[in-house]
Amino acid sequence: MKAETKKQLDYMKKTLDKAAVYDHAEHIISFDLETSCPPEGMEEQGEVAAFMSNQLFRMTHTKKFLEAVDDLYASRKELSEPEKAMVDRFYREFNRTRDITPAMDHRMTKVLKKSYVDWLKAKQAGDYSLFAPSLEAVRDVEMEKISLTRKKKKVPYDNLLDIYEPGMTQKMLDECFGTCVERMVPMLEKIRASKKVIRTDFMSRPVSDEAQAKMATYLMHLMGYDFNRGMFGTTEHPFTDSLGRKDTRITTNYDPNYFISSIYSVIHEGGHALFDMFAPEEEWDYHFHEEKSMGQHESVSRFYENVIGRSESFIHLIYDKVCETFPDAMKGVSMKELYEGVNRVQPSLIRTDADEFTYVFHIIIRYEMEKLIVNGKADIKELPRLWNEKYREYLGVTPKNDAEGILQDVHWSSGFGYFPTYALGNMYNAMYYNRMKQELDVPALVEKGDIPAINRWMQEHVWKRAARLDSDTWIREITGRSLTPDDFLDYLEEKYGAIYGLD
């Protein structure tokens, strides 16, 4: 390595080591904001988090730092693989942020932090009008960021997709989701016409928060979550956050009349946590641990939540513990009834509680709305009406209020482009699950509780190189194929065809 290259590399690494302290502090403040901060203190705390985030931005957007990244990117052949991953991360990021000044960044971040507070107030009041001004401000910030992006893409929405799933485009999603609708709508009609009766009455029997917390702890231990490097709390909208190298936290919430919700929320967030907990040390050493795409991340969370968590073998594994923890709710409920209950297909209003099959339609609805918002074809004030129309169109249900409608998700308080990654995650994990089954007897391992064997396979094939690779290279490295929805659709047809006795 040339002396000048080493000098620039040392400078970049040292700067990022210092900036990571502000990043860590901002994550801690934001985690507290969403889990334990008193309502009247939220807006001020959001401003403190925005300040910390802005300090990181300032340190990584000096003329000297930007020049170092440009020089190192031009000298990539001299760098090791983790060094390249670090440089590539910031080179891509600077394509979006190089022309954003520190003052602009601070203003934009404050808009997003305030938007979260306004969303929470609006949801609790069930009144979208309390959130609409903030959502409009978020939309304006997103459009401003796009206008400042160098080498911007012609389709405005593609610039936002690229943040969460680099390389993904609106055209590609239109094709994937079009295939999903084409194959899933006829099957949904068959399911709804089926004479199969699935029992679900027990799932609405009251269960205490304490019992649900006990079950959550059991599930996290079962999955391999390391409580020495994490904790879990409660919040309005469950999430996972890696605050530091050895600090990955998850959150859930408890519905006293739907205990299944917290079970699958915990498994979903636990999947995210495992992905980060098993990350190679070099991701933190070289500051590219955040480079995993959200499609990669959601593939893992939804793999554990659905492919593993809603399988017959997993229900067999946890059945006795569920009965022991929720004795009144599970009285007279067989193992088969629990399995069928958690897999019942029933169009519903709440995305996070949706069954595995109809969940995709929730994502398609949000995707279609995001395209309209970003492409300037939707009035922010009229979004609840549009939301309700699309729920009637795709799922045949209509929200009674904004809280169970447009305000149910937190994601739009921080921008657009994230939602499609949930569906992409389903597609990716169905592809690598087919590869996994060629090497492991997955049902047998799950039924006897050998989740560590599943985790080891995931570590070797799915997690180890994810942060170094773009999603297309990553999934081709695992499966030999580029993204396709076909594996996921085949999986749905096989699983739900069996449950509902379809031809």
For 152, left (φ over 0), alpha (ψ -120 to 50), or beta?
Answer: beta
Could you give the CA distance from residue 51 to residue 54 in angstroms, rounded to a whole number? 5
Residue 252 maps to a domain: yes
Q: Write out pLDDT tens, residues 446-455.
A: 999 999 999 9
CB pairs under 8 A, 24+ apart, for 63-68?
64/11, 65/11, 65/12, 65/15, 66/94, 66/98, 68/8, 68/11, 68/12
Residue 266 maps to a domain: yes
Q: What is the SS3 assignment for 46-64? A: HHHHHHHHHHHHHHCCCHH
Residue 292 maps to a domain: yes
Q: Write out pLDDT tens, residues 89-122.
A: 999 999 899 999 999 999 999 999 999 999 999 9
Same domain membership, residue 125 and residue 222: no
Dihedral angle at the C-alpha atoms of 376, 377, 381, 387, nearest 10 degrees?
-130
Same domain membership, residue 353 and residue 465: yes
Domain count, the chain: 2
Mean pLDDT of 279-298: 95
Residue 237 pLDDT grade (very low, low, confident, very high; cuts 50, 70, 90): confident
Same domain membership, residue 230 and residue 356: yes
Same domain membership, residue 392 and residue 246: yes
Which residues neighbour 80 within 8 Å (Cβ) at sequence distance 6 or greater? none
Q: Residue 145: is its pLDDT beyond 90?
A: yes
Domain that holds residue 404: 170-500
CATH number at residue 443: 1.10.1370.30
Could you give the CA distance from residue 177 to residue 288 in angstroms, rounded to a whole number? 30
Same domain membership, residue 435 and residue 344: yes
Same domain membership, residue 236 and residue 135: no
Residue 165 maps to a domain: no
Same domain membership, residue 34 and residue 101: yes
Q: Looking at 269, 283, 291, 298, which residue is catalytic?
A: 269
What is the DSSP pairing of strand 240-244 with strand 247-252? antiparallel
Which residues neighbour 389 within 8 Å (Cβ) at sequence distance 6 or greater? none
269 tagged catalytic: yes
Query: Do the Cβ atoms of 126 and 403 come closer than 8 Å?
Result: yes
Mean pLDDT of 379-404: 96
pLDDT value at residue 69: 96
Mean pLDDT of 220-249: 94
Residue with the two structure tokens 């060629």: 438
Q: Residue 503: is its pLDDT beyond 80?
A: no
Q: Which of 96, 121, 152 is the last residue of a domain?
A: 152
Query: Do the Cβ atoms of 82 and 288 come closer than 8 Å?
Result: yes
Residue 261 tokens read as 């919700």
Could you give the CA distance from residue 52 to residue 26 in angstroms, rounded to a whole number? 5
Q: Write out pLDDT tens, residues 120-144.
A: 999 999 999 999 999 999 999 999 9
Same domain membership, residue 133 and residue 104: yes
Mean pLDDT of 279-301: 95
Mean pLDDT of 261-280: 96
Mean pLDDT of 66-77: 95
Q: Write out pLDDT tens, residues 405-456.
A: 999 999 999 999 999 999 999 999 999 999 999 999 999 999 999 999 999 9
Q: Residue 87: is its pLDDT beyond 80?
A: yes
Residue 301 maps to a domain: yes
Residue 160 maps to a domain: no
Name the strand (E) or helix (H) holding 190.
helix 170-193
Same domain membership, residue 148 and residue 188: no
Query: Do the Cβ atoms of 389 and 397 come closer than 8 Å?
Result: no
Residue with the two structure tokens 């983790």: 82
Share of the chain above pLDDT 70, in %: 100
Per DSSP, the three-state class of 240 is strand
Which residues neighbour 452 within 8 Å (Cβ) at sequence distance 6 or greater? 224
HSE, CB side, 13 Å, CA atoms: give it for residue 435: 16
Which residues neighbour 83 within 8 Å (Cβ) at sequence distance 6 or greater? 9, 72, 286
Angle made by CA atoms 59, 63, 64, in degrees to the nearest 5? 80
Could you give the CA distance from residue 317 to residue 339 in angstroms, rounded to a whole number? 11
Q: Residue 460: is its pLDDT beyond 80?
A: yes
Residue 158 maps to a domain: no
Sign of the Cα pseudo-torsion (150, 153, 155, 159, in order): negative
Residue 197 tokens read as 């009766």
Same domain membership, residue 148 and residue 117: yes
Same domain membership, residue 376 and residue 309: yes
Residue 1 pLDDT grade (very low, low, confident, very high; cuts 50, 70, 90): confident
Q: In which order are the strands placed within the sheet that holds 240-244?
A: 232-234, 247-252, 240-244
Same domain membership, residue 39 and residue 176: no
pLDDT value at residue 236: 87
